[in-house]
Amino acid sequence: MEPRQKVSTGSPWEPIVGYSRAIRVGNIVEVAGTTAMKDGEVVSKGDAYGQTKYILDIIHDALTQLGAVMEDVVRTRMFVTNMADWEKIGKAHGERFADIRPVATMVEVKALIDPELLVEIEVQAITQS
């Protein structure tokens, strides 16, 4: 079995809950559900587009740390607290993935970990190396 590489979230909850921001095994990279949080505060409060852009930047950084790029992403899953925000979230997603066009799922959920979070995104990538 290939060695497991991990990227930390830096959160104090990571060892308590038992998770990583991202893991790479072989050419598969999985990025955990990612929200617009920085230093315990919600980024772009009330702005689904801004939160989505911020989340995709975090995901980009996690992929890069594991030797992957956004072009390696084959699936995204978006969890949103208000489906009426789908166009704002979709716009930010499209700006990053318009040419890549991974399969994508968007579902409405009752709530995320903080009531001011509007979207959470996870991705799967398959690298060429």
Within a 10 A sphere around the Cβ of 36, how many other Cβ atoms? 28
**Domain range enclosing 86:** 4-126
pTM above 0.85, yes or no: yes
pLDDT digits (tens, 9 = 90+) for 62-108: 999 999 999 999 999 999 999 999 999 999 999 999 999 999 999 99
- How far is Cα 49 from Cα 43, in angstroms, rounded to an integer? 11
**For the chain, how many structural domains are there in total?**
1
CATH code for position 57: 3.30.1330.40
Residue 31 token pair: 């990025």
